[in-house]
Amino acid sequence: MENEIGTNEKKAFQLFLKSAEGGDHVGQNNLGYCYRNGIGTTKDEKKAFQWYLKSAEGGNHAGQNNLGDCYQHGIGTTKNEEKAFQWYTKSVEGGNHTGQNNLGNCYLLGIGTIKDEKKAFQCYLKSAEGGDIYGQSSLGYCYRHGKGTTKDDKKALHWYSISAEGGNINAQTLLGNYYQFGFKTTKDEEGNSVYYGSEIKITKDEEKIFHRYLKSAEEGNTDGQNKLGYCYLLGIGTIKDKEKAFQWYIKSAEGGDSGGQYSLANCYFYGIGTAKDERKAIRWYIKSSKRGNKVE
């Protein structure tokens, strides 16, 4: 199977190369991605940068975002936060929602520009509403901590939940902590509910949730298998067990669930319940994306 994957990656690389050399700006961005991650070719960050540059200068908004990332982190070029900010801005002007989140980071942290929490919040809001899972998590952060907006635990939980459902593992972890501890950790006497701030009440009966997902998963429901993996990952209604989480994500992913495929990709990418394997991670990210799960 690995040889087949390697062959497919090489074919993909050759197709992107032909497209890029023919002047296609989408192909140039894709080729940059291949060089950056060593997909079908030897990893070469300088070549990745050069192809992202061609794509960005040709007006491709994803390429502009990726070029900004290269300048921000010094990937294949000298680190230059001002240029990173400029390219993120161009990406946003073209409607790239991931670039919108990155631009928000620039305003929040003062990367290549003056810190401005209100502008950061507006960027995250647009990114989140555009469907970017990282923008959704960033927006949740703003509401949680009152960055550029009024603190609102209810809205924070809402956006963290959406991001987590989209497959953002960091948002999943934050959401799990909220379910376990609450924003202000105000519990009723029986311990069956958790109040988040003064407005949010979430019924906390984790064992029932776990067993519902367990039954669904054992019956072969791929969405239930993915959610059962989530329960094992965070210890919701059961003991934390990353290896079991990984095994259920495999079942979900192989059954064709895009969320499960994304969760499995995260496991391989971060080494959760299994050894790190970036190639397998990329393979599952691609499968997830093809089935409609947004992967940036």
Helix (H, G, I), strand (E, B) or coil at 202: strand
pLDDT band per the 50, 70, 90 thresholds, residue 32: very high
Q: Are residues 156 and 268 in the same domain?
A: no
pLDDT for res 103: 96
Question: Tokens 């007006």 — which residue?
Answer: 59
Q: What is the mean pLDDT of the chain?
A: 83
- Does 198 map to a domain? no
Residue 279 sits in a domain whose CATH number is 1.25.40.10
Q: Are residues 26 and 106 in the same domain?
A: yes
Q: Which pair of structure tokens corresponds to residue 33?
A: 């991605």
CA distance 257 to 152: 33
Question: Can you name the residues that pair with 200 across neighbouring β-strands?
Answer: 196
Domain extent for 47? 1-181
Q: Whole-structure pTM over 0.75, yes or no?
A: no
Q: Are residues 39 and 169 in the same domain?
A: yes
pLDDT band per the 50, 70, 90 thresholds, residue 127: very high
- pLDDT above 70 covers a percentage of the chain that reads 83
Q: What is the mean pLDDT of residues 158-173?
A: 77
Q: What is the mean pLDDT of residues 159-163?
A: 84
Q: What is the mean pLDDT of residues 181-197?
A: 41
41-55: pLDDT as tens digits: 999 999 999 999 999
- Does 191 map to a domain? no
Q: Are residues 24 and 163 in the same domain?
A: yes
Total structural domains in the chain? 2
- Confirm if 163 and 173 have CB atoms less than 8 A apart: no
pLDDT for res 108: 94
CA distance 227 to 257: 11
Of 14-18, 59-63, 95-99, 217-221, minimum mean pLDDT range = 217-221
Quote the DSSP letter at residue 22: T
pLDDT for res 199: 40
pLDDT band per the 50, 70, 90 thresholds, residue 221: confident
Highest mean pLDDT among 106-110, 174-178, 211-215: 106-110
Instruction: Give, rounded to a whole angstrom, the gap between the first and last alpha carbons of the chain.
Output: 25
- Does 188 map to a domain? no
Cα of 135 vs its chain's centroid, Å: 9
Q: Are residues 177 and 261 in the same domain?
A: no
Going by C-alpha positions, the residue among 108, 154, 155 that lies closest to residue 128 is 155
Burial class (CB in 10 A: 0-12, 13-18, 19+), 159: buried
